Amino acid sequence: MSMPFDLSGFQKQVKDQISFYTDPVSLEIPNDPVFVHYSSKTDKLRIMSADTLNHMNNEVKEARDKVNQLDNDPSGIRVALREFAPTTPLQKACKELLTQMVDRGMNADIINAMTIIFDEGVRVLWLMSQTQDEPSKILLSSALQAHLEKFHVPVYLILAFFDLQNHFGAETVNAPFRQLFITAFALQNGNLTEAKGRVRDKDGDTLKTDHIVCPQTRDTIDVASSSDSSVKAKNFLALVIALAKFAKLEKEPAIHDFLAENPDYHELAEKNLRKYIKYPEGFLFTDEQQSALDKMGLQEVVNFEKARLAEGPQLNQQIKEARFQSLKEATAHQNLDTRYQNFKPNGLSLKKNALDLLIDYNKENAWSPSFRLFITGHWNRHHHQIVREAIHKLNNNEDPREVLVALENEASKHSSFNPEGSLLRRLNYLKLKFPDELLIEKSGGIEGMSPM
């Protein structure tokens, strides 16, 4: 059944936001959204297609490979020469001769000098073709050989040059040695410059691995972090579409086109909205993402639905189930069961499991907890003191639920709080194993323990 609500008063806010949630390449709302995670802090909240993100990342990888290939080519022409398609037998012969130079390790300066020497040699061949006097031809031929030897032209090139003369005769005067070298060098150098431009950020610095430049803002995007946000971005976009529907913006071009391609999306959007209303913390949105949704009227809908649902006698059970499913989906990528497989909740109390997990977090059972944290690679955990206090409270038989709620609230105040960090993973694991105690308020309200 469709949720009745009117957000017409938020039309402008929704329309202003929608443009930030269209893919920068297709200019459409993507079916595979990810949040754009910039490498430096920014107030820009954007969504793009995962396919576009991966395609752009592959282009940068190809450009980086090309830079490495071209930068490590001493000849300056290897790639361009390989791609050159000769149209005459003489061009083909010149390409083969230049290729010999490249394959024998000559650098660009030496090849350039060789083409100048050959160019002068071609002029001598032209003079030979213009004289009918045999002694003069012999004299010019000897002069040509002496010219080539004077500049230490390798024997294999001298032989190749005269083979060219014998094969093409007077036509050799048109041999495009130098022209082909200059053209190939300019082309390859241009390709190198273009490839380097594609692996640099807006400040001209070389992009790190798995970083690309945003086509809209020119800021640097962290590809790995952006890819990891797909679940959260899909949930976010579903809420945006639900709010757009309530704001009567279904005919807005980007929204209309998206819904035309996804005719059943309304049902998914409203399902996500219902989950959010019952357990918003399960979506793990950042403050910035939450603020964007609130500006589009989300809190209006939440407040309305909370009041309506509060009239039902089974509110607590609905909330618990919604919270459990939402948290399960939000933490699926963390593999909590596998990560904490050594902890066995079956038959043990919430208190015992909480103590086991928190003591393991702080390594409190070691002779030197700080040393144990260091050697296990966890010296940078931020919440040692508040976890120690929580362990003390549990050992003093304080209410486990209240202790864990207080611990999570205190942890969230830390400047380096990480909603995907070790402490929050352990608390989320406990919620999934003890939903009756941790995913529902004793008072029957809906402000339960956060899964973040």
CB atoms within 10 A of CB 347: 6
- 17-31 residue pLDDT tens: 998 999 998 999 999
b/e burial code for range 433-447 (CB count within 10 A of at least 16 → b)? bbbebbbbbeeeebe
Q: How many C-alpha atoms does 56 have within 13 Å on its Cβ side?
A: 27
What is the C-alpha separation between 289 and 236, in angstroms, rounded?
8
pLDDT at site 6: 75
Which has the closest alpha carbon to 393: 355, 343, 425? 355
Pairing of strands 33-35, 47-49: antiparallel
Residue 308: the pLDDT is: 64
> What pTM, to 2 d.p., does this model score?
0.59
The predicted structure's pLDDT at residue 356: 86
Token pair in block for residue 338: 């596998």
pLDDT in tens, 397-410: 888 888 998 888 88
- What pLDDT does 52 receive? 95
Spatial contact of 250 and 281, defined as CB atoms under 8 Å apart: no
Contact present, 73 and 79 (Cβ < 8 Å): yes
Which tokens hold the place of 312?
A: 């039902």
**Low-confidence stretches of the chain (pLDDT beneath 70):** 1-4, 121-153, 169-170, 172-173, 307-319, 344-347, 364-382, 440-452
Distance (Å, whole) CA 299 – CA 273: 11
Reduce the DSSP state of residue 207 to 3 states and report it. coil
Q: Kindly give the interhelix angle for 11-18 and 287-295, rounded to the nearest 10 degrees.
A: 130
Both tokens assigned to 226 = 């952006």
